[in-house]
A and B are shown apart, each in its own frame.
Chain A
């Protein structure tokens, strides 16, 4: 059974304080690993897809990386508007559905 575990559950940072969020996964044949951002009362917003170990993708202050066991979402010099819950999900071989972790709730204080 495919599983995703995210850590930490919650993270508070000061504006400008860089950090990383972790996503550990077990999956039978990874087709893709996904990062989403979710604001309160809204649906998840797609950020990145990573397909294979060693791949990296960047968008503004965010950079996602992937190994064979985990993915990191690095946030550089965050701003208060980066506050949100960040969700990690995987799609396994032969499966169409996404399996999500429980999310990391990120708060950036000004």
Chain B
């Protein structure tokens, strides 16, 4: 079946621009997560949704980062006034209900801020 999809796959932004990254989770998956992965490092948690409710945003690095999932399906991660340190791969993951803990990841969006 279809996996998690993300768009765009690559994004180049000039410092100070706003960007929006999209995630389409696996159909029927209630939980959705965003992670940030720096080069050569493991993914780091940003935020978590259950349906449309954002239940944990403790990993968002600053108030320039904002995520939403208004209808409990597609999610958008927005970064305002991008800085060079925002350059990374942004990964989206989804998880089904019923006690299973494993998360399924999309291919990621590579953001480069110049």
- Mark A residues whose CB is within 8 Å of B: 4, 31-32, 34, 36, 41-46, 49, 87, 89, 91, 96-103
Contacts and interface: CB of A to CB of B under 8 A. Distances in A.
A46 B94 CA distance: 12
Contact of A43 (B41, B44, B55, B105): B105
A103 B55 contact: no
List the 6 shortest-distance A-B pairs measured between CB atoms, nearest first.
A100-B42, A43-B105, A97-B45, A32-B101, A44-B105, A43-B107
B16 interface: no
Given A31-B101, A96-B55, A89 B108 contact: no
Interface residues of B, number: 25
B40 interface: yes
Contacts of B101: 31-32, 34, 49, 91
Interface of B: 4, 31, 33, 35, 40-45, 48, 50, 55-56, 59, 91, 93, 101-108
Most chain A beta carbons < 10 A, residue from B42, B104, B107? B42
Given A44-B91, A96-B55, A101 B105 contact: no
Contacts, number: 59
A88 to B, nearest CB: 8
B91 A98 contact: no
A46 B43 contact: no
A105 to B, nearest CB: 8
A44 B43 contact: yes
Contacts of A49: 101-102
B107 A98 contact: no
Contacts of B91: 43-44
Contacts of A42: 107-108
Nearest to B41: A102
A79 to B, nearest CB: 24
Given A31-B101, A42-B108, A87-B42, 7 more contacts: A43-B93, A46-B102, A46-B103, A49-B101, A96-B33, A97-B48, A98-B33
B43 A100 contact: yes
B45 A43 contact: no
